[in-house]
């Protein structure tokens, strides 16, 4: 497949440099700083809630928590890491949520009302945060799925406010009480995102059901969390969302990328098998088999097959891409892959993103690297490479640097990309 993207820029030292855009970073306001962004009718409720709220996440109460909202610090640290722009997913706790909003669908109408107010406050804070670094942040705005028309109104507001990172699609985990993502209930959401040209993003961790507190829960979560996130892909494909909205873009972020070729093969297999059975039963005017019943109407409702939908409509936010995934890039689609540092998370590559890029992309052709580390994200999220290339000429990693294989992991690195056993490459 053809690669796409900026070939980078030439620094004052004469070195060719990559223009790196992280397609996966996280930010949010400090808890009390959300208050001015809430509608005034929620201020008393917020004061009472905030007075007793205990943040469950150590990194959000640590001295380094201001990485989430300190604009100047973020720019400095990202530039130090060789990154000139970022796609900004949420991270801190919005008003009225018990934990991160990715993992907390509203359980009751009253909680939906309060949490919806909290997400709208986050979106308004995010618009200001992105405006503080013009052209360098694509903010991903949030909705809830309980009220589709409210969600559509918020999408229109967010895009009008300059949040061009697109929609963060919540999960519909088992037990949520929400229609599944393949439901036509959500068509107005797909329609407005396609109309406005912003992607639908689905981030890992947003669709897992609660697992309780048993000792095995954390291990089971690690095994299952990306699979639950992958489900959005086949739900939207088999649900026909891309046939009805051919301009819709879906981005699957921080879910790995090595799984994609195998899953597409599986989806193509089931699609072909079920459509063939239904077509045969219809043509022969014979009694329907169990298999033909499963495939009835599928070809008409879907239009294209799964691999064609992936080719035309889907992308992967390949956070801290691992070396064993890189040889699959042609099967995934080089023009589909968008590297991300996951700043400021501990599992992210900061402050060793240059090393992470070397580990993954050493000896990969320059034009392919340029596409995966910046060019593709610029195209999907609307970054202006002409404006970013001069910054990259000062801070971006050099082509020569990234081409050199990494001899050993950097001391103190916490990203799993460098962990023994996380890749087929052995130190």
93 in any annotated domain:
yes
Percent of the chain with pLDDT over 90: 77
As a whole number, the mean pLDDT across the chain is 92
Q: What crossing angle do the helices spanning 109-131 and 148-160 adopt, rounded to 10°?
A: 10
Residue 281 confidence (pLDDT): 73
Residue 420 confidence (pLDDT): 67
Predicted confidence band at 1 (pLDDT cuts at 50, 70, 90)? Answer: very low
Q: Residues 154-160: what's their mean pLDDT?
A: 98
Please tell me whether residue 137 adopts helix, strand or coil conformation: strand
Q: Residues 141-160: what's their mean pLDDT?
A: 96
Predicted confidence band at 147 (pLDDT cuts at 50, 70, 90)? Answer: very high
Contact of 310 with 405, CB cutoff 8 Å: no
Question: What stretches of 245-349 show up as alpha helix (H) in DSSP?
Answer: 260-284, 290-295, 298-302, 306-313, 329-332
pLDDT at 87 over 80: yes
146 in any annotated domain:
yes
- Residue 91 burial (CB < 10 Å; 0-12/13-18/19+)? buried
Contact of 21 with 373, CB cutoff 8 Å: yes
Residue 111 confidence (pLDDT): 86
In what helix (H) or strand (E) does residue 50 lie, and over which residues does it extend?
Answer: helix 43-52
pLDDT at 423 over 90: no
Contact of 377 with 338, CB cutoff 8 Å: yes
**Helix, strand, coil shares, percent, the chain, to 5:** 50, 10, 40
Cα separation, 244 vs 134, in Å, equals: 34
Q: Which of 20-24, 96-100, 422-426 has the highest mean pLDDT?
A: 20-24
User: 143 vs 212, which has greater pLDDT?
Assistant: 143
Residue 49 confidence (pLDDT): 97
Q: Residues 115-120: what's their mean pLDDT?
A: 96
Contact of 148 with 186, CB cutoff 8 Å: yes
Instruction: Return the bridge partners of 141, or none.
Output: 167
Predicted confidence band at 284 (pLDDT cuts at 50, 70, 90)? Answer: low
Structural domain containing residue 39? 9-418
110 in any annotated domain:
yes
The CATH number assigned to the domain holding 412 equals 3.20.20.140
Contact of 87 with 24, CB cutoff 8 Å: yes
145 in any annotated domain:
yes
Contact of 66 with 30, CB cutoff 8 Å: yes
Q: Residues 32-38: what's their mean pLDDT?
A: 98
- Residue 262 burial (CB < 10 Å; 0-12/13-18/19+)? exposed
Residue 110 confidence (pLDDT): 85
Cα separation, 357 vs 308, in Å, equals: 29
425 in any annotated domain:
no
Q: pTM for the full model?
A: 0.94
In what helix (H) or strand (E) does residue 79 lie, and over which residues does it extend?
Answer: helix 71-80
151 in any annotated domain:
yes
* Total domain count, the chain: 1
371 in any annotated domain:
yes
pLDDT at 211 over 90: no
Predicted confidence band at 176 (pLDDT cuts at 50, 70, 90)? Answer: confident
Q: Which of 64-73, 98-107, 269-278, 300-309 comes out lowest in average pLDDT?
A: 98-107
3 in any annotated domain:
no
Residue 104 confidence (pLDDT): 52
């Amino acid at each position: 497949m053809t690669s796409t993207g900026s070939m980078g820029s030439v620094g004052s030292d004469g070195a060719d440099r990559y223009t790196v855009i992280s397609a996966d970073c996280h930010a949010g306001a400090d808890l009390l700083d959300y208050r001015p962004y809430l509608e005034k009718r929620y201020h008393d409720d917020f004061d009472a809630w905030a007075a007793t709220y205990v943040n469950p996440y150590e990194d959000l109460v640590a001295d380094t928590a201001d990485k989430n909202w300190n604009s100047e610090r973020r720019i400095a640290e990202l530039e130090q890491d060789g990154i000139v722009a970022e796609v900004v997913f949420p991270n801190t706790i919005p008003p009225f949520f018990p934990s991160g909003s990715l993992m907390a669908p509203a359980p009751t109408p009253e909680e939906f009302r309060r949490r919806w107010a909290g997400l709208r406050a986050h979106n308004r804070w995010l618009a200001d945060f992105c405006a503080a670094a013009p052209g360098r942040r694509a903010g991903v705005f949030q909705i809830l799925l309980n009220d589709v028309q409210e969600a559509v109104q918020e999408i229109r507001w967010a895009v009008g406010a300059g949040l061009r990172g697109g929609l963060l699609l919540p999960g519909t985990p088992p037990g949520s009480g929400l229609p599944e993502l393949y439901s036509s209930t959500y068509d107005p959401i797909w329609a407005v995102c396609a109309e406005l040209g912003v992607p639908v993003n689905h981030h890992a961790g947003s669709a897992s059901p609660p697992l309780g507190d048993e000792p095995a829960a954390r291990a089971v979560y690690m095994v299952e969390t990306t699979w639950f996130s992958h489900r959005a892909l086949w739900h939207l494909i088999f649900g026909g969302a891309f046939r009805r909205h051919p301009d819709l873009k879906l981005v699957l972020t921080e879910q790995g990328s090595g799984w994609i070729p195998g899953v597409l093969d599986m989806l193509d297999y089931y699609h072909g098998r079920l459509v063939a059975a239904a077509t045969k039963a219809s043509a022969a005017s014979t009694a329907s088999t169990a298999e033909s019943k499963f495939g009835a109407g599928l070809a008409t409702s879907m239009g294209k097959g799964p691999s064609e939908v992936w080719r035309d409509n889907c992308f992967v936010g390949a956070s801290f891409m691992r070396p064993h995934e890189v040889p699959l890039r042609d099967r995934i689609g080089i023009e589909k892959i968008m590297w991300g540092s996951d700043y400021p998370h501990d599992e992210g590559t900061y402050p060793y993103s240059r090393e992470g890029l070397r580990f993954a992309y050493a000896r990969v052709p320059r034009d392919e690297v340029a596409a995966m580390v910046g060019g593709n994200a610029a195209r999907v999220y609307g970054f202006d490479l002409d404006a970013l290339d001069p910054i990259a000429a000062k801070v971006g990693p050099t082509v020569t640097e990234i081409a050199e294989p990494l001899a050993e992991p950097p001391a103190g690195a916490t990203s799993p990309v460098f962990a023994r056993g996380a890749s087929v490459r052995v130190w």
